[in-house]
Chains A and B, each alone.
Chain A
């Protein structure tokens, strides 16, 4: 079985400060990891993914994520947050042997001006 945990329901940061959204996962084999962002009443937009290779993955809108196998984590980061980054963020995982994605409960990010 595969699962994802996003331990923080909400993250609040000031504009210009670093932003981190935490994610831990559980899979039986090698994980495929994804981050998506959702704006109110909209669908999910893909940000980035980790499949294999470099543990630091760069994605859209200046976001990056670091894969840590020993800690089974895949935290999303942005060096300098913008007010427009305020949204709901989802981490998702898929085991190599399963093509269904399992999503975390989501983290609401609020960036204040």
Chain B
């Protein structure tokens, strides 16, 4: 079955540590996204990538980094510079750059919950 796999589902981190969240998709989608979800705030875009070896900052990129070395993979690193990293992180993908014929509908993974101790 095609889909998006995020790992780990739960992750605990000590302050000052970097952590990397994995996101893999086998949907053959060109575009991938990372969102952060906090209670009552909806989803906020961290980073997105339209093609391999290219990515752009979203609305809340500070303290995060990404890479896109393969079409299938878009890992997110939460660095020690992120002041409040405890959150639910969602990875998503879409067919490609949205336009008149491509509605840009997102497909989501099951999420990773990061807790800073």
Contacts and interface: CB of A to CB of B under 8 A. Distances in A.
Interface of A: 9, 32, 34, 36, 41-46, 49, 51, 90, 94, 96, 98-101, 103-106
Interface string B63-94: 00000000000000000000000001010101
A96 B104 CA distance: 10
Contact of B98 (A36, A94, A106): A94
Contacts of A100: 45, 48, 58
A104 B42 contact: yes
B104 A99 contact: yes
Interface residues of B, number: 30
B110 A43 contact: yes
Nearest to A94: B104
B96 to A, nearest CB: 8
Contacts of B45: 100
A106 B39 CA distance: 9
Nearest to B41: A105
